Structures are given as C-alpha cells and as structure tokens.
C-alpha cells in the first residue's frame, strides 16, 4: 500500500504539480522562495519514485527495527527472518530501479556541471586574450559591437561588459546591471540552473522538470534584479534591461538581457508588495512538506513497528 501511494504521488507530482505551481501569482514577489519550491517539488517526485521501489522490496517492520541503531538494524533483520538472498526477483528489480533512478539523475546533473565548467574555462581563456580589466568597474571590458553584460561563474568568477554596452548605457545603469550580475555570482545561480537543466535532461518528457527548468531560469533573473535594487534605483536597472533586451549572452554564462528582460522592466517600474510573514511561512511549510512528505510516508509503517515494539517491551517490564 505504501509503495502504491508513493508511486501514485510520483506520477501526479510530475504531471499535475507543475500546473499548480506555475499558477502561483506570488512567485514574482518572492523569487528565492519560489526557486526553493520548484527544486523541492523535483526532489519530492524523485524521492517518491525511489522510496516506492524500496518500499516494494524491504519489509516495513525491518525498517522499524533498523531505526534504533545500525548494529541493532543488522540483528533485527536477522532475528526477524529477513534474508536478502531469499528476496523474490521482483524485489531485486525494484531495488535496481531505485538505484538506476539515483544514478541516472546524478550522472545527468554531473554531466551538465562538467560541460558547463569546460565551456566556461574556454570562455575564460578567450577573455584573458581579448578582454581588458577595468579597475573602476571591477569587470572585464570586451571589444564587441553588441551590448552585453554577463557574468562567468566559477572559481575565478568574472563580470563582463562589452564596449557597445558602455557606449549605450549611462554610468548609473552600468553600475546597476553589474550589481545584478554579481548577485548571480554570490547566489551561485549557475549551480541552481545546472541542477534544473540536468534533471530536465535526465527525465525528458515529464512536465515537472521541463516547467521547473523554464521557471527557474526566469526566477533567478528576478532574484538578481531584487538584490541589485537594494543598492541601485529601479529605474536604472529598468533602463539597462531595455538596452540589453536583445542581447544573447554566451553559453553557460548568466546575462542581464534575454527573453525575460521586457517583463522584468515592467516589474522594476511597478514593484509588487513583498510577501507578508504569514505568506512566507506558508511557502516555507510547503517546501518542508514536499521534502519530508515522501520520507514520512515511507517510514510510517516502520515507525509504527518501532513504537509498537518498544511499547510492548515496556509493558512487559
């Protein structure tokens, strides 16, 4: 029954949950919380699928005995008659499926991180040859006829601005958009994007991961806008976004322009009211439920067995 519940939830989470989350109107008001919610939803769906397979193969009372300690778990498994070698082939296949899900997701994310690291390294070498550091801006200036401002994440993170951007933007807007890029670097947004992109590639065709990737790309830009707006007037950020809207940053970098720029201009000029304390608490509670829910469902029979076992021993005493 527990395995069936987890499997049904995994299916619903990958198909219906993105439709509910994408309708959340508050996400633009709290992009960081919304990013956490999307990542928690992805983790919840994957965990449910894995735990459904584990619950199919491992008896619930064995889990309950195993919660006391690692050593007690081994003896409890032996004392309760649980013999891994005697498990049916279906149980082994279920455990194999769980292992494959973990390995496939990890390898996809790892491949995405490695590809991004390799491409950024090549771009950094190009910048060392063609760019020049501007101490006043704290950025690398690149001779290029398209207005671009972007950041290159990594160990030696850099912010880059093209000469066309410097010609088209006033100094106030340049400072504001550079603050936007540094917010990306401080927030490690490249890792969040790599995780979302890796999961999308690991599970193609599933709406949750495709929608999560699209939304997270948008939300990290909103988050960087909000951080930059703490120190720079919103009008300067909006002016920079208008000039950079058509620019396309190099692959595996984070640029201030792009497809979402015009929508972000409206958001900068007409800021929404931040979430109140109750709304923030509700959002954080939703993240907690998504993360802990599958494990709680999977462990419930084991916890019940553990409580019943100890209560029985106390009654005998």
pLDDT band at 99 (very low <50, low <70, confident <90, very high): confident
Q: Which residue has the higher pLDDT, 234 or 81?
A: 234
Q: What is residue 70's predicted lDDT score, i.e. its pLDDT?
A: 40
DSSP state of 86: G
Q: What is residue 47's predicted lDDT score, i.e. its pLDDT?
A: 92
Q: What is residue 64's predicted lDDT score, i.e. its pLDDT?
A: 47
With pLDDT > 70 as the criterion, what percentage of the chain qualifies? 83
Q: Which residue has the higher pLDDT, 300 or 37?
A: 37
DSSP state of 59: -
What is the chain's mean pLDDT, rounded? 84
Q: What is the pTM of this model?
A: 0.83
Compute the average pLDDT of residues 141-153.
93
Q: What is residue 160's predicted lDDT score, i.e. its pLDDT?
A: 95
Exposed, middle or buried: residue 154 (CB in 10 Å: 0-12, 13-18, 19+)?
middle
**pLDDT tens track for 162-201:** 999 999 999 999 999 999 999 999 999 999 999 999 999 9
pLDDT band at 91 (very low <50, low <70, confident <90, very high): low
Task: Mark out the alpha helices in the chain (DSSP H runs).
Answer: 2-15, 17-22, 31-57, 60-66, 70-79, 89-130, 163-168, 171-186, 189-202, 207-229, 234-244, 261-269, 277-316
Compute the average pLDDT of residues 87-116.
83
The phi and psi torsions of 275 (rounded to 5 degrees) equal -65, 145
């Amino acid at each position: 029954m527990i395995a069936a519940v987890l499997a049904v939830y995994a299916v619903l989470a990958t198909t219906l949950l993105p439709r509910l989350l994408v309708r959340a109107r508050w996400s633009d008001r709290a992009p960081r919380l919304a990013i956490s919610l999307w990542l928690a939803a992805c983790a919840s769906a994957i965990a449910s699928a894995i735990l459904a397979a584990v619950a199919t193969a491992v008896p619930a009372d064995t889990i309950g005995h195993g919660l006391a300690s690692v050593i007690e778990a081994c003896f409890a498994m032996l004392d309760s008659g649980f013999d891994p070698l005697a498990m049916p082939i279906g149980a082994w296949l279920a455990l194999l499926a769980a292992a494959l899900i973990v390995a496939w997701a990890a390898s996809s994310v790892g491949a995405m991180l490695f590809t991004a690291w390799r491409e950024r390294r090549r771009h950094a070498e190009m910048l060392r040859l063609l760019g020049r550091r501007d101490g006043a801006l704290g950025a690398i200036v690149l001779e290029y006829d398209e207005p671009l401002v972007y950041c290159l994440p990594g160990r030696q993170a850099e912010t880059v601005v093209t000469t066309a951007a410097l010609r088209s933007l006033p100094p106030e807007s340049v400072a504001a958009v550079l603050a936007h890029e540094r917010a990306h670097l401080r927030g490690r947004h490249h890792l969040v994007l790599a995780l979302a992109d890796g999961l999308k590639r690991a599970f193609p065709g599933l709406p949750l991961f495709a929608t999560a990737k699209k939304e997270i790309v948008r939300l990290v830009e909103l988050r960087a806008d909000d951080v930059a707006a703490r120190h720079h007037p919103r009008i300067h950020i909006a002016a920079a976004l208008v000039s950079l809207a058509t620019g396309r940053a190099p692959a595996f970098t984070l640029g201030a322009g792009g497809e979402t720029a015009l929508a972000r201009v409206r958001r900068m000029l007409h800021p929404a009211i931040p979430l109140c304390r109750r709304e923030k608490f509700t959002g954080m509670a939703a993240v907690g439920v998504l993360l802990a829910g599958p494990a709680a469902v999977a462990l419930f029979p084991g916890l019940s067995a553990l409580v019943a076992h100890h209560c029985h021993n106390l009654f005998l005493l």
